Amino acid sequence: MSQTVRARDLLTYGLMGCAMGAVVVPIYIQVPYLYSRVYEVPSATVGAILLLSRLVDAVLDPAIGLWVDKRQGPGNSNRYALPILLAIPLLLLGMAGVFFPQGNEPAHYALSLLVSLLVVHLGFSLSMIAYQAWGSELGSTDKERSTFVAAREGIGIVGVIFAVSFSLESHAVGIYSAFAFILLAGAYTLFKLAPRPGSNNAVAPPATAALNAAGLKKLVAELLHPLKHSNFRWLLTVFLCNGLAGALPATLVPFFMRDRLGLGETDQWVLAVYFVVGAASTVFWVWLAGRIGLIRSWMLSMVITVPTFLTVVALQEGDLTGYLMICVVSGLALGADLAIPAALVARLINDNQERGKNEGTYFGLWNWMSKMNLALAPTLALGTLQWFNYDPTLSKTEVFKTMGLLDQLANDPLVWVYAIAPCALKLLAVALLLASGLDRQLTKPGSDYPSSNSAEQGKAA
């Protein structure tokens, strides 16, 4: 890694990620359980609300990314500050609405959730697209870029750990207060102390086309511009499968812990262990990527996850130790998902000769896909459970306990959606990575990372 990358730079850039992590976890891990069990909104309705809010977001993310790119040019060395500043009040208001819904019946709570999520998504899109694009301009090699990504995601896990360690049912005020403080402190540190995005490659933005038919066609073409590159299309497809594989169990983890394992609020520290291991392991995955490449490191993490996570099907009520071990090993693999994919996007931007030009557009599409994963997961997971008339008390009955493992699997849709389907999606992601040819492209002569069979290049990386 270049000596120009200092620990201070990593910390001051990465601190904002702590607040971003604290946004994602309550919405996609705790909100489905909170609204379906506490506020008694039907599970399928909660899933539909999450999906609908994301469909609106589907238009916003690429458009925001394009707007960020249009702000580039001489005299605008940091075009990412304004989107983040606009996002702060939206995030504060939206998260307040999610944590403290208005109304006195399920229909009111559902409407309050929808409006609040729309506000949160707008704020999150503005901040995260600009924040990721900012980071993509820091560092000049794969290792430096992945180090900044790892710092952002690793520090972001601190926010995740805090949010996942307490239930929204009884700690909403404390979680929201901490989130507001971290968001404001992270933004201040980012603006005042973090390294500035590079502007050497910045060019004057093209004139905006008039909003006639031709102008609209040009606008759509600009929004979808990154998709003209096959390498980015392949990466998005892999990310969809791998992301959905992670989002499904994230949605159902409160259900699995409480319904299948009989664990309570005091046992949520197990999830904190999962994220702590994930954050700590980012250092290992950055190191490994420097030896065998980004693609092969990411693929290895997927291969580790599948047999590990499949073992949850054998867990029974009260099996906290077994679940803890699974969280530790799968947490190790999580580190690769945190450190590698966004670094791959930055690498492709560089390889496609669009650095300093279209980072916002790339990360706009990337964020849209990431959030679509998280929106599809509750819709599919909660909708499937409701379709099969899932009974949360099933695993506690004597009849169920006397069944063999295969009979239990046949009668419990929760295990299928929580564990088996995600593992199948992970294997599909591995197959797509192998078919994509990205590994060959990113290890061609002259690339930042060596091919895995070149020991000398590996030492130089």
Give residue-wise pLDDT tens across range 66-109: 787 776 554 444 678 888 999 999 999 999 999 999 888 999 99
Does residue 360 surpass a pLDDT of 80? no
Instruction: Please give the pLDDT value at position 443.
Output: 54
Q: Left (φ > 0), alpha (ψ -120 to 50) or beta: where does 154 sit?
A: alpha
Give the pair of three-digit tokens for residue 248: 């499904």
Q: Over the stretch 391-403, which tens digit does the pLDDT of each residue have?
A: 887 777 777 777 7
Q: Give the pLDDT of residue 76.
A: 46
Give, as one character, the DSSP assignment of residue 198.
P
CA distance linking residue 102 with residue 43, whole number of Å:
19
Average pLDDT score over residue span 281-297: 89
Given this model, what pLDDT does residue 311 score?
92
Q: Please, where are the H alpha helices in 100-193?
A: 106-136, 142-164, 168-193
**Model pTM score:** 0.70
Identify the burial level of 210 via C-beta atoms within 10 angstroms of its C-beta, where 0-12 means exposed, 13-18 middle and 19 or more buried.
exposed
Write the DSSP string, 140-152: SSHHHHHHHHHHH
In the 8-state DSSP scheme, what is residue 206?
Answer: P
